[in-house]
Amino acid sequence: MTDFNPNASLPAPSIPGDALPPVEQHAQQYATVRNAHETELIEDYVELIGDLLAHRGEARAADIANRMAVSQATVSKMIRRLNELELVTSKPYRSLFLTEAGQKMAETSRARHDIVLHFLRALGVRDATARIDAEGMEHHVSDETLAIMQRFTEQQQKS
């Protein structure tokens, strides 16, 4: 308390909206987001490599660069990281492949991504918009919410 504040301890002015959450809970919100940001790019790479392998039979660095709209140098550097994390195997000038761990991550990410995408479409969001939103949202959806989204989509499809 440094600045003079005329309303410091009055009954309660016209506070709009919800109150602030308790400090620990609030901190948890931000920490969870920071955490998601550490892994989401990795997940997107692995998921994309999995998709390219499934749909095209091979995953080349140039395809990734084009699909992500990023320079080839950026992809090359990222592949080195994925290698160090033992998520992909790569021989220079050859297609990438996923390790066991990489395949597992790709499947999990793809499943999560699809649930979010299908949910948004079931909600009534146009396909192109749903795809864009899902690409970002997928990394910030808890398992609890994911389960609810899936149920919602199934309900929707029955009717």
Pick out residues in 43-102 that bind a second copy (CB under 8 A): 44, 51-52, 54-58, 60, 66-70, 93-95
Residue 26 CA to residue 93 CA, distance in Å, equals 47
Which lies closer to DNA via its Cβ, residue 74 or residue 129?
A: 74
* Amino acid (1-letter code) at residue 90: S
Min dist. Cβ of residue 157 to a second copy (A): 16
Helices (H), the chain: 23-56, 61-68, 72-84, 100-123, 127-137, 143-158
Neighbours of 134 (CB within 10 A): 21
Among residues 159, 155, 152, 157, the alpha carbon closest in space to that of 116 is found at: 152
User: Of residues 81, 104, 126, 151, which one binds DNA by CB under 7 A?
Assistant: 81
Which listed option, Mn ion, a second copy, DNA, none, makes contact with residue 100 (CB within 5 to 8 Å by class)? none
Which listed option, Mn ion, a second copy, DNA, none, makes contact with residue 72 (CB within 5 to 8 Å by class)? DNA
User: Is the torsion defined by CA of 86, 87, 93, 94 positive or negative?
Assistant: positive
DSSP, collapsed to helix, strand or coil, labels residue 82 as helix
User: Of residues 38, 84, 100, 144, which one binds a second copy by CB under 8 A?
Assistant: 144
Which lies closer to DNA via its Cβ, residue 52 or residue 130?
A: 52
User: Of residues 42, 99, 103, 152, which one binds a second copy by CB under 8 A?
Assistant: 152
41 near DNA, rule: CB under 7 A: yes
